[in-house]
Structure 1
């Protein structure tokens, strides 16, 4: 099968189009013909070697953890799925090796969910990691009706999803973003504020008594978080492990088919959508990585089938 892969750590120069053996379909797993794959910052961070201290890697690596596609085959004792099912998944494995930037990927059935009918292939491929990260963060913060939630980096993929989930839960959402993204965040239900110097004052203008919870999807904002948080407030971060020492929670998302089922239900009910800013054919994964590294902030970047 065709696959994008790399045989050593590095930048986009190590990524190349290769021929790889099709993955085996073990018991309890499904083989997915990839229709689209989401691009996430973690993909190029893994490729650069940043996660080597905490994750085993077997070269050559096919990158990619997000996928939307069609079940090509099922392993022994996998009654949940049948050939032809449209599915999607956050397919991170304990060992980094066989990812989703390929014609096929095999994943455990417990990490796979049926694709939301309301989303196209590109949107579905852009949802799993960001959606599950937002869901896990808000579940950990116990967001409920009447809360005021501050979202750092509301214009990113995780932030946009978190805004929609929090609004659906009945919370008031204040979200940081550059001015060019404010109108879209208003459409999603948030009150946007400019990030950077003066953020605390801007948030306090909107919430003089402070906020009930803070979801940090940016990093480097712990001081601002603590300055606007109520004394009994809750905070969590996906980018700053020091929150654990400051009364908060560090979040690392897990593959979770049940979580995807929750996201699918919201998408098909019309209360959750995915903004896709760009799509590239699979062989242009390097260009997609470059776009992701630039911090575009305009929605998800995805890869489609090999041209």
Structure 2
């Protein structure tokens, strides 16, 4: 008779010592609760001004003087929004802000990519000195630049033109973008560049076929930030755009303020109208911003 092989039962493998129970993962430490409380408190502090703007935008001046700024309006009062819309020709100011911010964002991102490609990958001579000069130029306050730029644009005939503000902010934003992207491209994988060179790709093809697709999330983040930063600028548009037809939304809001009198409800309504376009822009590109920020954190 053939002998049947008997398989002895095997003991279950011991659980690894490094694993933690499932219930322990969901427990929060006291430090986590502290961080959460601080984050909630910071969110409340940031949200308070926006809530006050919304509350006072739909409140009449008489109700504001009676109840104060913290109470909600008893009825929707839209005369402040209509007054600001008609007084400053808001569609015209909105279009000027969109043209300036959009042009600056696109031009600054494009020039930053070209400059960073030359500094980070091209390895031009004096790369470190150039990056330091760009960084120092980015740290200069705008007040220092007003008189030289005013004199220069008056001489070339671009004063009181949208192009003057577009050129100024393109250079300012490009300085920051070049500094950031040059540091990113300085750590670019050399294997990809060498493989593209062996395949016969020129520098132009390497830039647009290799570097650009990989750095596109970072460029999208810069585009969003440049747009919002330029939209909120006040001092340079106030100085170089003196005519009402060329003014931006932040400059138009100051038209409601006088030396001894200020309509709080109309000013709140103007701030709300100026906030809505940037809020819509941020909500549209929120996922792009999130993907761009986290692109380098996950391999």
Q: TM class by shorter-chain length?
A: under 0.3
Q: Which has the higher contact order (CA 8 A, sep 6+)?
A: 2
More strand by share: 1
More helix by share: 2
Return the TM-score normalized by structure 1.
Answer: 0.20
Structure exhibiting the larger radius of gyration computed from Cα positions: 2
Return the TM-score normalized by structure 2.
Answer: 0.21
